[in-house]
C-alpha cells in the first residue's frame, strides 16, 4: 500500500518526502485555506517539485461544467495533478468527461460502496472513502474499504484504486492496508506517530548508555 500525505503544508511535505516514503499528496479546500494567504496554483506547483507522484487538487464547483472547467485548468499546471471531484452525479459527469480527455480524477467524500462502484464505472482514477468521518458516525469506516475492495476485485474491468482517506491514527494505516486499500493518505502527525515506539526510544537510550560505559 502506498502512502500519501494529506496536507498543503510545504514544510510537512518537504520533511516527509525526505523520509523516502511519499508516493503522492492530497489537498482539499480546507487544507489549502489552512495555509493562510497562499496561492492555490503556486502551492500545487511547488508540491509537484517536492513529490514525484499524484497530487490531488480539488474543484469547488457544484456542477459538472464548472468541475470540468476547473479540472482542465488544474491539470494544465503539472502532469501529476489529479482532479478531485465530489461523490455526486455532477461529479460522475465530470469524471467521465475528464477521463475521455486522459485526465485522472480522485472521487472524494465517498461514504458508501455504491458511490465507489459508480465512480469506478465513470472512470475514476482513485476513490477516496473517508474512514475517519465514517467512524465518527458510529459505523466501522474500515468496513467500507473492505466492501469496495471486494467489489472492485470481483470486476476485472475496474482499475480504480482505493485511497483510504480521513485517516486519524496509525492503526487506520494498518487496517487500511489489511482491508485492501491501495493508498492511505495521512496527516503529517499520523505519519510521525506511525514511526514512534517507546521501546525504540528506550532501546536507543540503553545502547548509548552501554556504549559510553564500556570498559
> Which positions are catalytic?
84
Q: Say whether residue 182 binds ligand E4P (CB under 6 A).
A: no
Q: Say whether residue 125 binds ligand E4P (CB under 6 A).
A: no
- Among positions 38-97, residues that touch ligand E4P (CB under 6 A) are none
C-alpha cell at 130: 473517508
- Among positions 89-108, residues that touch ligand E4P (CB under 6 A) are 108
Which of residues 34 and 197 has its CB atom nearest to ligand E4P in the complex? 34
Tell me the closest approach of the beta carbon of residue 15 to ligand E4P, in angstroms: 19
CB atoms within 10 A of CB 206: 10
Q: Say whether residue 169 binds ligand E4P (CB under 6 A).
A: no
Which of 85, 165, 179, 184 lies at the binding interface for ligand E4P (CB under 6 A)? 165
Which of 40, 74, 130, 152 lies at the binding interface for ligand E4P (CB under 6 A)? 130
Which of 132, 143, 146, 193 lies at the binding interface for ligand E4P (CB under 6 A)? 132
Whether the Cβ atoms of residue 119 and residue 148 lie closer than 8 Å to each other: no
Tell me the closest approach of the beta carbon of residue 201 to ligand E4P, in angstroms: 28
Q: Say whether residue 115 binds ligand E4P (CB under 6 A).
A: no
Instruction: Measure the CA–CA gap between 198 and 57, rounded to whole angstroms.
Output: 37
The phi-psi region of residue 37 (left if phi > 0; otherwise alpha if psi is between -120 and 50; otherwise beta) is: left
Give me the phi and psi of 147, to 5 degrees please.
-65, -45
Instruction: Measure the CA–CA gap between 146 and 127, rounded to whole angstroms.
Output: 13
Whether the Cβ atoms of residue 84 and residue 57 lie closer than 8 Å to each other: yes
Measure Cα distances from 51 to 3, 16, 90, 112, 154 in Å: 12, 10, 30, 30, 32
Binding piece for ligand E4P, criterion CB under 6 A, among 65-73, 96-104, 126-134, 142-150? 126-134
- Among positions 17-36, residues that touch ligand E4P (CB under 6 A) are 26, 28
Binding piece for ligand E4P, criterion CB under 6 A, among 32-40, 92-100, 130-138, 193-201? 130-138
Instruction: Measure the CA–CA gap between 146 and 156, rounded to whole angstroms.
Output: 17
Whether the Cβ atoms of residue 43 and residue 65 lie closer than 8 Å to each other: no
Size of the residue set binding ligand E4P (CB under 6 A): 11
Footprint of ligand E4P on this chain (CB under 6 A)?
Answer: 6, 26, 28, 108, 128, 130, 132-133, 165-166, 185
Amino acid at each position: 500500500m502506498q502512502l500519501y500525505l494529506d496536507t498543503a503544508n510545504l514544510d510537512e511535505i518537504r520533511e516527509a518526502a525526505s523520509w523516502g516514503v511519499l508516493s503522492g499528496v492530497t489537498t482539499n479546500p480546507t487544507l489549502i485555506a489552512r495555509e493562510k494567504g497562499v496561492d492555490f496554483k503556486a502551492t500545487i506547483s511547488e508540491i509537484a517539485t517536492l513529490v514525484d507522484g499524484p497530487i490531488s487538487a480539488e474543484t469547488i464547483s457544484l456542477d459538472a461544467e464548472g468541475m470540468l472547467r476547473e479540472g482542465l485548468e488544474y491539470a494544465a499546471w503539472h502532469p501529476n495533478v489529479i482532479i478531485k471531484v465530489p461523490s455526486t452525479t455532477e461529479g460522475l459527469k465530470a469524471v467521465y468527461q475528464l477521463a475521455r480527455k486522459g485526465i485522472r480524477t480522485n472521487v472524494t467524500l465517498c461514504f458508501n460502496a455504491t458511490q465507489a462502484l459508480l465512480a469506478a464505472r465513470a472512470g475514476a482514477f482513485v476513490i477516496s472513502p473517508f474512514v475517519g468521518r465514517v467512524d465518527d458516525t458510529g459505523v466501522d469506516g474500515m468496513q467500507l474499504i473492505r466492501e469496495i475492495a471486494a467489489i472492485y476485485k470481483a470486476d476485472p474491468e475496474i482499475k480504480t484504486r482505493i485511497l483510504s482517506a480521513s485517516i486519524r491514527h496509525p492503526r487506520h494505516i494498518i487496517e487500511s492496508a489489511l482491508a485492501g486499500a491501495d493508498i492511505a493518505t495521512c496527516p503529517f502527525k499520523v505519519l510521525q506517530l506511525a514511526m514512534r515506539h517507546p521501546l525504540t526510544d528506550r532501546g536507543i537510550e540503553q545502547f548509548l548508555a552501554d556504549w559510553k560505559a564500556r570498559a
